[in-house]
Amino acid sequence: MRQIYPDLWQSKTENPIPGAPQVNTHAYLLTREDGNVLFYATGNTAEHERIAEMGGLARQYLSHRDEVGPHLATIRERFGSMLVAHEAELADVGAAAPVDLVLDKQEVHLGNIEVIPTPGHSPGSTCYLVHSPHGRRYLFTGDTVFLNDGRWKTLVFDDADRDDLRRSLEVLRGLEPDVILSSASLGEPSYKEMAPGEWAASVEPVLRRLS
């Protein structure tokens, strides 16, 4: 785990897709007095040890089905943590580990974690906006929008989902995050800080390409 902000740590890079070493994935540990929270997933057991050293884990929030693997059960059993995922992802996530908290709408968890369903990349894709007590707003976008050698991209697998993804991006465009952290990236960087107004301007070309 590498500390990137006072309350946020990034796991070591993993390359989970065979034949695609350029696809990097990370998990992010948010340290909290009422129990640490993990966004996305890591199968690196050394990182699980580091999480234990930092006080364990209360919840793990998934963005979508691409984060599924045997590590979900390992993490849940080791830390007694709650696994959180959208109801549209349950068939995939539940095959790996029981889901303890099912998402189905926009809401606020634990006082400062905004749950934002963003279907399109997958039916249950979900983003999370965290208002850190240290002053920054972290937006965890999963694969709804991600970095490709520093440029923002998105990916839709079925044309039937294109309108959903467009609407989701329009919702995200209206937010004002300070840092964007996707679950996967092509190359580096894997996350990016935003100046005021930069995020909305960054989403515009993604929307145009999607159209």
Element (H, E) at 61: strand 59-61
| C-beta atoms surrounding 126 within 10 Å | 27
Of 15-24, 129-138, 157-166, 178-187, give the lowest mean pLDDT range. Answer: 15-24
210 band by pLDDT with thresholds 50, 70 and 90:
confident
Residue type, 185: S
Closest by CA position to 81, among listed 106, 103, 108, 62: 62
Give the mean pLDDT of 167-192: 92
Q: How does pLDDT run across 45-102, given as a tens digit for each residue?
A: 999 999 999 999 999 999 999 999 999 999 999 999 999 999 999 999 999 999 999 9
Q: How does pLDDT run across 133-173, given as a tens digit for each residue?
A: 999 999 999 999 998 888 898 887 776 688 999 999 999 99
What 3-state DSSP class applies to 165? helix
pTM comes to 0.94
What is d(CA 151, CA 154) in angstroms, rounded to the nearest whole number? 10
What is d(CA 164, CA 180) in angstroms, rounded to the nearest whole number? 21
Give the mean pLDDT of 28-49: 97
What 3-state DSSP class applies to 50? helix
The structural domains of the chain, with segments of one domain joined by +, span: 2-210
Would you say domain 2-210 falls under CATH 3.30.70.20? no
Rg (CA), the chain: 16
Determine how β-strand 126-131 pairs with β-strand 137-142.
antiparallel
Element (H, E) at 103: strand 101-103
Q: Could you give phi then psi for residue 160, rounded to 5 degrees?
A: -65, -20
Tokens representing residue 65 in the block:
């089905």
What is d(CA 39, CA 150) in angstroms, rounded to the nearest whole number? 21
What is d(CA 5, CA 132) in angstroms, rounded to the nearest whole number? 10
Closest by CA position to 154, among listed 84, 64, 85, 89: 64
Give the mean pLDDT of 165-187: 93
Share of the chain above pLDDT 90, in %: 80
What is d(CA 110, CA 113) in angstroms, rounded to the nearest whole number? 6
> What pLDDT is recorded for position 190?
87
> What pLDDT is recorded for position 104?
95
